[in-house]
Structure 1
Amino acid sequence: MSLLILVVDDEPDVEILFRQQFRRDLRDNRFAMEFANSAASALQRISDAAGASLILILSDINMPGMTGLELLPKAKALRPDVPVIMITAYGDDQTKRKALEGGAEALLTKPVDFVALRNVIDTRVTGAA
């Protein structure tokens, strides 16, 4: 069973950037990445992945419609076993507090530190193997 990471962001460039940063992992089938361009789409993907080894959800906070902070408790209700890391351009203390109180494992600021993110992913992949 392949390991799955769900990335939620309304910016289309994010998928290109993540596929580029993790191209070797994806090519080697170390894990798969799915992308959702809205919180509603993410909830559907989380429901659809009920039997899959979803190991991590990465979600932007500022999205039209439902924000990442609104998505967070719904995602945790569907899959309490899956850590959620929030990503935002606005890493102020209040946003970080809301994310962590809502159940996020961490809050990363944009531009994303892909070295730090890779360490988090490596830990999840190793733990799931």
Structure 2
Amino acid sequence: MKVLIVDDERDVETLFRQKFRKEVRNHNLELTFAFSGQEALDILQKEDPPKVVYVFSDINMPGMTGLELLDKIKAKFPGITVSMISAYGDSENYNKAIQSGAKEFFTKPIDFESLRGEIKQLL
């Protein structure tokens, strides 16, 4: 299963690769990273249909926000599951994300066990 992680902080790639190394090693998970909303859309548009089945995106990013990205993904690729993450667990972002079609909303620091459970539901 191909997962796209979108975050403007590049150190999340190392963190995700460490936390999911077993799943990646066993070929249960393929991790792809984008560091902006536009880069994420470019990755999704490379293949028709996209091989990505799950997008995990930060909300607060420069340029295109995660909520704007969520709207674009849901409009163009309605079959892709999207979950959002924010450093701020405020109800406004939570409500906007869920109303826009996000499956789940996580706050930083990421609870990787909850995220792992979320991904296993899709496998």
Q: Does the pair score TM above 0.5?
A: yes
Give, as a single letter, the amino acid of the residue that structure 2 aligns with 1:82: I
1:52 to partner: Cα distance: 4.3
Q: Which residue of 2 aligns with 1:64?
A: 62
Instruction: Provide TM-score, normalisation by structure 2.
Output: 0.96
Deviation (angstroms), 1:41:
0.2
Q: Which runs of 5+ in 2 are unaligned?
A: none
Is 1:25 paired with 2:23?
yes
Q: 1: CA distance between counterparts of 2:47 and 2:57? A: 16
Partner deviation per Cα, 1:46-89 (whole Å, 9 max, x = no partner): 11143343221000000000100111110112210111000000
SS at match of 1:46: helix
Tell me, in whole angstroms, the C-alpha distance in 2 between the residues paired with 1:90 and 1:72: 17
Moved more, 43-52 or 72-81: 43-52
Show CA shifts across 1:80-105 (max 9, x none): 01110000001111110011111111
The alignment yields a C-alpha RMSD, in angstroms, of 1.0
User: The residue matched to 1:65 in structure 2 has which SS?
Assistant: coil
Distance 2:12 2:104 in 1: 19
- Asked if structure 2 preserves the Cα contact closer than 8 Å seen for 1:4 and 1:52, the reply is no
Number of residue pairs the alignment of both structures matches? 123
Note the alpha carbon deviations across 1:30-49, whole angstroms, 9 max, x for none. Answer: 12010000000000111114
Contact 1:46 1:78 in 2 (8 A): no
* Contact 1:4/1:54, CA 8 A, preserved across alignment: yes
